[in-house]
Amino acid sequence: MVAAERGSATGPRVVEVTTARGPEEHRGGRRLSGTITGRGSDGDGGATGRRASATPEPDAPHSRHTSAPTAVKDAPHGRQPSAAAGREPQQDRSRATQQRLLEATVDCLYRYGWSGATTTVIAERAGVSRGAQLHHYPTRAALVLAAVQHLAERRAEEIRAEAANLAAGLDRTERVDQVIDLLAAAFTGPLFVAALEVWVAARTDPELRDALVPLEARVGREMHRLTVDVLGADESKPGVREAVQATLDLLRGLGVANLLTDDTPRRNQLLAAWKQQLATHL
């Protein structure tokens, strides 16, 4: 600890005490203390920190002005703690926060639509602070597009896993039947409804549309490749590529028709007819 006096003959006497924690100024036997926090309520780096007010506290006895320990006790076997190891829990918390935000975004779009899925509502549903939300996704458009892309990728992984679990030894007609049912479920689920909400909003929002168009093109290409893979289709054969794309367009249209009313009976009839035709094209 180092103590030094400074001041003028006309001003108050100032004693500056320097410890390992930094300088503390004492004026007239009083100490000024303040705290600056830089984390959100969920502790993942949200921009919700604020400076606490400086409040006078009684001067501590001289015996309490001791330097904070600076040495780090050796880890077992003489190894120092790894800085990377300290960062891993923070990175895990950050990823968990992003995951909650992305899933809450799709859920809010599905439940409340574009107008009701505000960033405040999404943050509340995700259980994170607004500061943490803004730290990861500065704008509503960035959050929504990230959510659509993330959950589209996750749904594609689920379809691949479900297709891999199909019974072995299926003939082409049986495989087409079961794969089309898997894809139809994807085009009537919450993710598809949430994506439609974003599509409609993008029609009159140029900034959102400019960001959504390339994302949808990429998601569309990935869905096409996924469908080819799970069907076991050979696109080198004439007409197969067009048949796969027609399948996806048909499923998308049937998904839209299911928005206002349950269109299951009619959808099943149409898909039954299309499955027969598709099997002959593959």
Residues 275 and 159 in one domain: yes
**Measured between alpha carbons, how far is 129 from 134 in angstroms, rounded to an integer?**
9
Domain end residue (candidates: 58, 75, 102): 58
In a domain, 90, yes or no: no
Q: Distances in Å between the alpha carbon of 266 and those of 244, 271, 278? A: 21, 9, 18
Instruction: Identify the residue whose tokens are 């597009």.
Output: 145
- Assessment of whether the complete model's pTM goes beyond 0.75: no
In a domain, 230, yes or no: yes
Determine the structural domain holding residue 50 and report its residue range.
2-58
Which residues, in sequence order, are CB contacts of 149 under 8 Å at separation 6+?
215, 218, 219
Identify the band that residue 154 occupies on the pLDDT scale cut at 50, 70 and 90: confident
Domain end residue (candidates: 58, 74, 90): 58
pLDDT (0 to 100) of residue 81: 52
In a domain, 33, yes or no: yes
Identify the band that residue 153 occupies on the pLDDT scale cut at 50, 70 and 90: confident
Q: What percent of the chain has pLDDT over 70?
A: 69
Digit-coded pLDDT (tens) for 57-114: 444 444 444 444 444 444 445 455 555 555 667 788 889 999 999 999 999 999 999 9
From 242, 240, 191, select the one nearest 219 (Cα to Cα): 191
Residues 149 and 274 in one domain: yes
* Domain count for the chain: 2
